[in-house]
Structure 1
Amino acid sequence: MRLPGWLAQHLAALRALLVFTVLLGLAYPLALVAVGRVPGLAGRADGSLLTAGGRAVGSALIGQSFTDADGNPVPRYFQSRPSAAGGGYDPTATAASNLGPEDIVDTVATSPGDSARSLLTQVCARSRAVGELDGVDGSRPYCTPDGVGAVLAVFHRDGLTGPVTRVVSVNQTAPATPFLARYQGVPVELAKPGEDYRAAGATIVPVRGDAPAEPAVPADAVTASGSGLDPHISPAYAQIQVARVARERGADPAAVRRLVQEHTTGRSLGFMGEPGVNVLELNLALDEQFPAR
């Protein structure tokens, strides 16, 4: 007996649903699980977990911070790069700061909770902190000695032209000292909370200063990755930390430097990306070879 056309179409659709459910809902996932159990791939399939003392302490694919309960760096460990993912390296909140190179003026509100640091000030503050921690020059172009963006709000007599009548260091507030005493003969003032100098007609002028063109603190030490989860730092950032880590652990700096080299990976396929040092793997190796005193 010939089935009605509408019923034949529904039965064909049902058969297709059953076939694709078996293939894509059962067979394909089970095949991937089986491949993940192949020797040599099982660890990667499980998240490339790293263990210490018989327990998992992290993943080789996701960075983590090495700080104390107050957020201060633990000196005996190599430090990771900054992270904008949640509270830092949160895999459930992977993200970047979304701040761009033109974000150079802090929001200085009357309420501290409403204030926000610009990207420039964040970079300056991080560079200064790294310099102090690792005993290197933390100065950078367009940064003040106290670690904020060196940016002026310059007022002219005729709006955008004419003699300068007023100058404000927009990222410095009392009791700081202006990073420049005078600009074009005009005394430099400190910013006042709640003032919007750009809206008041000022020209925003970043000041380069006399910092070296190639800062001692590398870029990855002061900027977060796009994902906020990058587990690597540059070899340059690792090298400036060697002396501190060796001193804190009572180890030979040359031996610590060899560990850094052992945990440095090259460019992917020999030409993509940059060399990197996996911080968690390196710190685990340090704990094994040079336990904290």
Structure 2
Amino acid sequence: MRLPSWLAQHLAGPRVLVVMTVVLGLAYPLLMVAVARIPGLSGKADGSIVSQDGRPVGSRLIGQSFTDADGNPLKQYFQSRPSAAGNGYDPTATSASNLGPESVVDKPDKPSLLTLVCGRSKAIGELEGVDGSRPYCTAGGVGAVLAVFHQNGSTGPVTRAVSLNEACPATPFIQSYQGVTVECAKPGEDYAMGVVTPIRGTAPDKPAIPADAVTASGSGLDPHISVAYARLQVNRVAAARHLTAADVNRLVDEHTTGRALGFMGEPAVNVLELNRALDRT
């Protein structure tokens, strides 16, 4: 018996709903679960969990902090790169800082990318006993940026200079700029009419602290650090564990992975696996 066209049209929708529910709501998820159980894939599908003494201590795919209860780096462990995901390496809040190269002026509630980099570089330099200075950073670890006021707006002689990232009563990182005394920034005062002028300073062209040590990854979950950052930490870790630098360097070599497919990216070191190897040593 042939159904009326209007009824057939109304029944088509429920039929499509049932078919798509079975295909996409049942068959496809079950297929993906079955694929995830294939030997060689099951570990990654389960999160690549790393266990020690029968309890999980982390994941090979997600970075984590190696700090004490106050957030201070544990000297006996290699440190991971910074994370902007939640409170750090939170897989439910994976994200970047969303700050770009033009982020050089601090806001009352949010430091600029330049100040974040400067502060991290200074702290790592103190931790590792190396020069933590970087171009466009003050000795105090904030962005070396002036608001420069000119007689004719953006041109002409300089009439005033303010260190934007150093709030009063701080002493500005330089005393004068083009013959004008540099002032500290007064909270609440508007410096929008000044020309934002980063000051390079005397830091070396190639800082001792690698870039990945002072910048977060796009996901905020990166479990790796560069080989250069790992080498920078060797002496501190060796001293804290009463090992030789050669022994620790050997472990770094053993836990260094090459470029993806042999040509993409750079060699990297998985921090969790390296620290576990140190604990076993």
Q: TM-score scaled to structure 1, two decimals?
A: 0.89
- Give the whole-Å Cα distance in 1 for the aligned partners of 2:56 and 2:132: 35
Q: Counterpart of 1:97 in structure 2: which amino acid?
A: S
Q: Counterpart of 1:148 in structure 2: which amino acid?
A: V
Name the residue aligned to 2:143. Answer: 149
- Give the whole-Å Cα distance in 2 for the aligned partners of 1:133 and 1:106: 25
**1:250–1:153 Cα change, 3 Å:** same
Offset, 1:159: 2.0
Contact 2:168 2:187 in 1 (8 A): no
Deviation per CA, 1:7-59, whole angstroms, max 9, x where unpaired? 45566665555444444333332232222222222211101111111111111
**1:178–1:19 Cα change, 3 Å:** closer
Name the residue aligned to 2:65. Answer: 65
Offset, 1:118: 1.1
- Give the whole-Å Cα distance in 2 for the aligned partners of 1:285 and 1:186: 56
Name the residue aligned to 2:127. Answer: 133
Name the residue aligned to 2:34. Answer: 34
Name the residue aligned to 2:163. Answer: 169
Which residues of structure 1 form unaligned runs of 5+?
108-113
Which residues of structure 2 form unaligned runs of 5+?
none
- Give the whole-Å Cα distance in 1 for the aligned partners of 2:15 and 2:180: 83
Q: Which moved more, 1:246-255 or 1:156-165?
A: 156-165
Deviation per CA, 1:223-261, whole angstroms, max 9, x where unpaired? 111111111111111110011011111112111111111
Name the residue aligned to 1:84. Answer: 84
Question: Which of residues 196, 201, 209 in structure 2 aligns to 1:204?
Answer: 196
2:45 counterpart of 1:45: yes
Specify the SS of the correspondent of 1:172.
Answer: strand
- Give the whole-Å Cα distance in 2 for the aligned partners of 1:10 and 1:162: 76
**1:181–1:18 Cα change, 3 Å:** closer
- Give the whole-Å Cα distance in 2 for the aligned partners of 1:144 and 1:264: 34
* Percent identity (aligned): 72
Q: Counterpart of 1:221 in structure 2: which amino acid?
A: A
Q: Which moved more, 1:77-86 or 1:27-36?
A: 27-36
- Give the whole-Å Cα distance in 1 for the aligned partners of 2:12 and 2:146: 73
Name the residue aligned to 1:96. Answer: 96
Question: Which of residues 166, 176, 181 in structure 2 aligns to 1:187?
Answer: 181
Name the residue aligned to 1:279. Answer: 271
Q: Which moved more, 1:134-143 or 1:153-162?
A: 153-162
Specify the SS of the correspondent of 2:143.
Answer: coil
**1:3–1:134 Cα change, 3 Å:** same
**1:39–1:187 Cα change, 3 Å:** same
- Give the whole-Å Cα distance in 2 for the aligned partners of 1:5 and 1:210: 82
Deviation per CA, 1:87-128, whole angstroms, max 9, x where unpaired? 111111111111111111122xxxxxx443111111100000
2:254 counterpart of 1:262: yes
Name the residue aligned to 2:213. Answer: 221
Deviation per CA, 1:67-100, whole angstroms, max 9, x where unpaired? 1111111111111111111111111111111111
Specify the SS of the correspondent of 2:147.
Answer: strand
Specify the SS of the correspondent of 1:56.
Answer: strand
Specify the SS of the correspondent of 2:33.
Answer: helix
Specify the SS of the correspondent of 1:240.
Answer: helix
